[in-house]
Amino acid sequence: RNVRVEPLSPMPNMAERKSCVRGAAPRVLSVLSLLLMTSVVVCKAANAEKPHVLFVVIDDLGFDDVGFRSHQIRTPTVDALRADGVLLDQYYVQDVCSPSRSTFMTGRYAMHTTIVDWIPPQSSYGLPLDEVTLADKMKEGGYATHAIGKWHLGFYKWEMTPTFRGFDSFFGFYSGGEDYFKHTSDGAYDFRRDKASKCGKGCSHPAFEDQGNYSTLLFSEEAVKVVSDHDPSTPLFLYLAYQAVHAPAEVPQSYVDAYNTTISDHKRRVFAGMLSCMDEGLGHVVSTLQSKGMWDNTIV
């Protein structure tokens, strides 16, 4: 159960015994997603205690960016997971967002889901509705399922959005990229709070109250809240898909200033601040799992 993949999308955090699934290649993601689906069925059949699952995606992360490789950017949470987990370093994700995410959600090669390139904002397609998602199978296995962050698997009709694809709730944005503070792309506001399963018209809430707040902090805070409010007797599947470190290069100035004396290039300092902000938030999520007594039974 404790697996960790190390390519363009790293993941979770902390030290103690844990596992880490960090973005992988279509092949590995297919195997990992199918393993998760299978383990749920096995646990259901055996009436065993089911592990909680935290699936973290870090968007557009480079192979040499995390602290344990670069020794330049501070990522203590990811580093601790790597030290205590299993590191697979010969696997790769697709080079753009949507194909990788379709594989995360289905366990299938992108060529089989038809999502072979990133989905532009005004596109009238998405992950085919006849595809069974990882969230569908987790819910079938008795899990509470929650998605936070970036979706990017289609939203031209409600049935394409997360709470129609197996998730009990969603907080984040449907499209592929936007301003971290304004939550806009091409002049349109895309930031949603979907509080229930099949939360469409009349239910989905445009979260205008979050305009001006940095998305990485918002996503970490929401993940902490989901864990804090969760009843540990029910298995939890939390899909935490950060916007970081995808363009545009934006982060609160304090995170940039932390690298003023160690990184001379301004663009690299901004990038480092974005990644450190994500790692810090992920650490809070792990700490919350620990304080809830859920950590020792959690797959990351």
Q: Nearest 5°: phi and psi at 162?
A: -55, -40
Contact status, residue 240 vs residue 146, Cβ threshold 8 Å = no
Q: What token pair was written down for 222?
A: 């929401």
- Catalytic residue selected from 20, 97, 199, 277: 97
How many other C-beta atoms lie within 10 A of the C-beta of residue 183? 24
Q: How far apart are CA 299 and CA 295, in angstroms?
A: 8
Chain Cα centroid distance, residue 206: 20
Alpha helices in 107-241 (DSSP H): 110-113, 134-140, 215-229
Chain Cα centroid distance, residue 161: 15
Q: How far apart are CA 162 and CA 148, in angstroms?
A: 10
Q: How far apart are CA 15 and CA 72, in angstroms?
A: 20
Q: How far apart are CA 115 and CA 99, in angstroms?
A: 5
- Catalytic residue selected from 52, 152, 230, 246: 152
Active site (annotated) includes residue 112: no
Active site (annotated) includes residue 246: no
Which residues are tagged catalytic? 97, 152
